[in-house]
Amino acid sequence: MRNTVTPIDPVALTADLIRCNSVTPAEGGALVLLEGLLTSAGFSCTRVDRGGIANLFARWGRPGANRSFGFNGHTDVVPVGDIAAWTHDPFGAAIVDGWMYGRGATDMKSGVAAFAAAAIDFIRQTPPDGAVILAITGDEEDIAADGTVALLDWMAANNEQMSVCLVGEPTCPNVMGEMMKVGRRGSLTAHFTARGVQGHSAYPHRANNPLNAMVRLMDKLATHELDTGTEHFDPSTLAITTIDTGNTATNVIPATCRATVNIRFNDCHSGASISDWLRAEAAAMQAATDIQFGVTTTISGESFITPPGELSALVAKAVQAETGVTPVLSTSGGTSDARFVKDHCPVVEFGLVGKTMHQVDERVEVAQIHHLKAIYSRILADYFA
């Protein structure tokens, strides 16, 4: 006989999570709230805190089950910015005209609430032959070194395994159901320092201006075609994000100039190959100008693809059934914690419309939260059928 326990309301849970001031890296009570809810529903919960970051691992079912479905998400949020510009309290979860306002409403407390509610209802109503795992971090919006990575490290050390994983990030540009992510581009940030000889601007021959060399180098990088795209990826992109000297004088040629570029790269490249190319270009400019160049790179993640197959078909079928929309399989957008999960198990991403994430007056359509829970519930039912 099925359990008739009252279903978890994902809208109320989203509101409760928004009211937790969990601006990264603060936990803000969000994971404490989820741990209490999941524990009361029969999940085995473990806090996997590391480096001052709070993380939560929750499993229903026996460890080492022959199959396990995992959800991954985060409860940390970006800062609110100018609070005076908000129409509603960013931690108030006000519902106005069918929309819930608050920091994290879209990215991604609604997603966490939807999959937590779906998981709890599912194991109560139709306990599966297998395990349901929730891996929730408080460090996705920052450097992410001690968030999902810490959870995966702990899982490996404790013989915990997800067979497949769905990351609940917002994935739809405009319409609920229109897009899911089966991969992501890699991301690399490079910092350049150019050192020349300071001098008077009236006597440029007595100086060696690092700005001239830096501008030439930045133009060469920005106009270079990295590639034309691949089967699953758009062309790689390079954006100059700053060129700076800190020079406030109009009649002084500075000795030093700095610049930063960010590159989003597809599977034609690796972080190492991009780094090698940038250093080679800087070395060539140094040889041509006698300006000394230094280059440091930070790789936030490599590109990856989960080839279309059983997992993407499972998710797409559930989305189509609940929304009437067949999602496009995409690798667009920035990075997510799927870049870490892909080394553990096959992973895809599906979530809400993300148009207002990180904005002032971030908000989510209340009806979408219910839709998302229904989609996640169907995915679980179909996976364990």
d(CA 183, CA 192): 29
d(CA 72, CA 165): 7
Note if 267 is an active site residue: no
Cα dihedral across residues 265, 269, 273, 278: positive or negative: negative
Q: Which of 16, 27, 35, 76 is catalytic?
A: 76
Note if 302 is an active site residue: no
Q: Which of 16, 140, 141, 337 is catalytic?
A: 140
d(CA 95, CA 153): 39
Q: What are the catalytic residues?
A: 76, 140
